[in-house]
Amino acid sequence: MFSVIICTYSVQRYSDLIEAIDSVKNQTYPFIEIIVVVDGNKELYDTILSQDIGVKMHLNDINLGLSKSRNVGAEIATGDVVAFLDDDAVADPYWISHLAILYRQNDAVAAGGRLVPLWIDGVSAFIPEEFWWLIGANPKGSPEHIKIVRNTYGSNISFARDVFLRVGGFDTGFGFNAGKNTVLQGEEADICNRIQELTGAGVWYNPDAIVHHKVFKSRVALKALFRRAFWQGYSKHVMGEKSSDKLSQESGFLKYVLFTGIPERIIQLFFLVAFTATVGLGYIYRIIDWRIENE
């Protein structure tokens, strides 16, 4: 049994929330319960409750933040596995089926998959694919096959419920909190580090376990992108301070960007300029040639 936990807090996200819920209801995997945790918004809670949409509901009386809300969802869950989906995401119909295979075949304690951007206001081509993690999607260079990783992203991650509870769930010092406007990130990496320290096991990753994460215009605003990038770096150091983890995943990403991503861009830029210049030379040569022919 999988318990899919969706946390929400804003009335403006209601239609997105319903779409997220429907995507879980349409899973090919049959053994699923859906838990919606509403974080400190009774109006939203009452609206969802009035629709009788067939999910288990919980209301935090006050805003407790995403990490605490996820923990509350896991506490009231009855499934063997707790899986987390954002209220602005849409799960592929085979999402849970692909995760379930990882638990059955590998005796996994944690498993996740790939986040694909779902561009709501048009593709923002200026964002390098290596930095798609800034918009909540897997970046270029992510694994293309099933393997063990340190962690996956929060809208496509799951845990054996008993292990999740044994390590105390997400650290509530990390994660988004609308009530406090906190920006400390890295809650997924933190809990996965603690699970590995407890069990010796990493997170099984399957790129076929797909969740589509909505990318709104507000998410690709330059201020928002640079703010997230800055606090991501800040949060990585905080995570390193409290864990024996040496940020090997980040080191691998940095090496990829420096030794693969940037050289590729330089080569592409060189040929972009070279080909454009060659086209221009051909155009100019024809002008000269035409004038010679017509003298």
DSSP string, 226-294: HHHHHHHHHHHHHHHHTSS---HHHHHHHHHIIIIIHHHHHHHHHHHHHHHHHHHHHHHHHHHHHHHHT
Element (H or E) spanning 61, and its range? Answer: none
The full set of domain ranges for the chain reads 2-245, 246-295
Q: Cα 127 to the chain's mean position, in Å?
A: 16
pLDDT at 209: 98
pLDDT at 52: 86
Nearest to 242 by CA among 197, 175, 176, 203: 197
Q: Given the structure tokens 């002008």, which residue do they identify?
A: 287
pLDDT at 259: 64
**What CATH superfamily classification does 2-245 receive?**
Spore Coat Polysaccharide Biosynthesis Protein SpsA; Chain A (3.90.550.10)
pLDDT at 180: 59
Q: Given the structure tokens 């288990």, which residue do they identify?
A: 56
pLDDT at 25: 97
Helix (H, G, I), strand (E, B) or coil at 176: coil
Tens digit of pLDDT per residue, the chain (295 long)?
999 999 999 999 999 999 999 999 999 999 999 999 999 999 999 999 998 899 999 999 999 999 999 999 999 999 999 999 999 999 999 999 999 999 999 999 999 999 999 999 888 888 888 888 889 999 988 999 999 999 999 999 999 999 999 999 999 887 676 555 556 778 898 999 999 999 999 999 999 999 999 999 988 888 888 887 887 777 766 766 665 554 555 555 556 556 666 777 787 677 667 666 766 786 787 788 778 878 7
